[in-house]
Amino acid sequence: MTSQPSEPTGGPLIRMPAKTPAALRAAVARLDSEALPRFDSDWASAMDQARDQFSLLPGRHFTEHWWAWVAVTRWPAQARRFRECERIVATSDDRSARRAAAAEIARILQDAQAAAA
């Protein structure tokens, strides 16, 4: 079971953190402590790729991905709908339902990131 704070009326669970690995890790810990192992694994993988490729892009991709995750997850109702749309895209036999769910995922991400900016 995840340890999530109760949803406040009309607002996000937490403020958006800075786009730094440390601030994002703290936000992930507050929103869903069960996601921390995946966060840490993604961070280690990004740093390995950065070292192997002599590139800063893996670290930037990691930061952008987890910043978007926090932007969505800090709004519980939005996060639930996002996960439902992911499920539809992954399992539905109805092509139009998959397309609609994919479009909704894009809108949720866009709205969450715009609200976080």
Task: Give yes or no: residues 70 and 80 share one domain.
Answer: no
Task: Give yes or no: residues 60 and 39 share one domain.
Answer: yes
Residues of the chain with pLDDT under 50: 1-8
Domain assignment present for residue 56? The answer is yes
Place of tokens 């909704």: 104
pTM reported for the whole predicted model: 0.83
Please, which residues have CB within 8 angstroms of residue 78's CB and are 6 or more apart in sequence? 72, 108, 111, 112
Domain assignment present for residue 55? The answer is yes
Q: Which domain holds residue 66?
A: 18-74
Task: Give yes or no: residues 61 and 33 share one domain.
Answer: yes
Supply the pLDDT for residue 31.
97
Ramachandran assignment for 12, one of left (phi > 0), alpha (psi -120 to 50 degrees), beta (any other): beta
21/75 Cα distance (integer angstroms): 20
Supply the pLDDT for residue 10.
67
Domain assignment present for residue 3? The answer is no
Residue type at position 15: R
42/24 Cα distance (integer angstroms): 12
